[in-house]
Amino acid sequence: MEKRFMKGNEAIAESAIRAGCRFFAGYPITPQNEIPEYMSRKMTEAGGVFVQGESEIASAYMVFGGASMGTRCMTSSSGLGICLKTEALSYMAGARLPAVVVNVSRGGPGLGTIQPSQQDYNLITNGPGCGGFSCMVYAPSTVQESVDLTCKAFDMAERDRNPVIVLTDGCLGAMMESVELPMPQTPGENLEWSLAKSDRQARIIKSFHLDPMDQEQFNENMADLYKSWDDNDVAVELYQMQDAEYVITAYGICGRIAKAAVEELRLGGVKAGLLRPITLVPFPRKQLAELNPQKVKKVLSVEMSIPGQMFIDVREALSAEIPLEFLGRSGGVVVEEEEIVSAVYKMKG
């Protein structure tokens, strides 16, 4: 394995190429610009195609086109650009096409700020587009995890023939950290939907159904797929949870900061633990529901969004007997370890 000191955004771009991505289309927006910038240099060297589209909408549809040919495709943006891409995302979900979409999120709504935030949680996890579809959502909390989950996202997108979203933020994207990069992969050929090659029966890629019964059948199949994610694909980090009385839930950049807070609290004799969702879809409901009210006194949901968004999913999953509190920052302010420690001491009383 090759070890390098890399910027989060560049690590995502490099790992996508190593995962076999050979088509990238995007449109500039801070704080994700290093992804298209890196792709513009390295994608052609890898024998692939880089396009800066005329808009977010166009570049997302270019990915639809590339995916139709069985090519591993990626696009990236920040929240307000992702909104524009949701139209094509819905068409891809409807046409059963795989793709990887990266959201390096920033403050909002509107133009908001260019600094990191987690304000896109609801947009991304509650179905990022029209028509009631879901995408699997990975939320890395280190640059290494950004690499690992980007690679995995390509495999999962292809397995499910459905777009996968990697949700990071401006802090994880801009920071540099040590990473081990994976060996380059050669993606499989002869994909069942691919329009490439002609020595076979005609294939049709579409998201339109004339017969309502066909559409209903499609939706039922997708419901089965989403159910299978809950059963098989949940990823969660449990840290110091065996005897935890005060549990922190946090994802992405907040997850790693909360982990350091748990260390600090443990040094002070507080039985703190961390439950960090790595997949936001599927959400670790089961792991949260299993928290025992006899052992866990309180849970604190830490997010870089106000009002709390993951907070609502945590509340829903958690036993009604366990009180849940919220610590949020937003607008581009990154939560500090000391704030989390103080919040736990405060809720401990």
Partner 1 sequence: MVRMLIGGFGGQGVIMLGQMLGAAAISSGKNATFYPTYGPEQRGGTANCAVVISDKEIGSPIVTRPDVLICFNQTALEKFLPTLKPGGMLFVNSSQFSKEHTFRGDFYVIRVAADTLAQELGNAKVANAIMMGAVIQKTEICTPEHAEAGIVEELMSKSQLHEVNIKALKCGMLAVRS
Using CB under 8 A, which residues numbered 258 to 297 contact partner 1? 258-261, 263
Whether the Cβ atoms of residue 34 and residue 104 lie closer than 8 Å to each other = no
- The amino acid present at 317, given as its one-letter code, is A
| Closest distance of CB 7 from partner 1, Å | 8
Say how far apart CA 168 and CA 340 lie, in whole Å.
20
Stretch that binds partner 1, among 219-227, 240-248, 308-316, 333-341 (CB under 8 A): 333-341
Q: Does 325 bind partner 1 (CB under 8 A)?
A: no
Q: What is the contact mask toward partner 1 in residues 12 to 51, using x (rule: CB under 8 A)?
A: ------------------xx--------------------
Q: CB neighbours (10 Å) of residue 345?
A: 13
Tell which residue, 34, 42, 36, has the closest CA to residue 56: 36
Q: Does 3 bind partner 1 (CB under 8 A)?
A: yes
Say how far apart CA 245 and CA 345 lie, in whole Å.
12
Q: What is the contact mask toward partner 1 in residues 203 to 232, using x (rule: CB under 8 A)?
A: ------------------------------
First to last CA, the chain: 47
When binding is defined by CB under 8 A, the residue of 256, 271, 276, 329 that contacts partner 1 is: 256
Peptide bond before 31: cis, by omega within 30 degrees of 0?
yes
When binding is defined by CB under 8 A, the residue of 220, 336, 342, 346 that contacts partner 1 is: 336
| Nearer Cβ to partner 1 (172/281) | 172
Q: Does 106 bind partner 1 (CB under 8 A)?
A: no
| Closest distance of CB 37 from partner 1, Å | 14
Task: At 8, list the tokens.
Answer: 């989060």
Say how far apart CA 47 and CA 64 lie, in whole Å.
19
Taking CA atoms, 275 is separated from 127, 250, 279, in Å, by 23, 7, 12
Q: Which residues bind partner 1 (CB under 8 A)?
A: 3-5, 30-31, 114-115, 171, 174-178, 256-261, 263, 334, 336-337
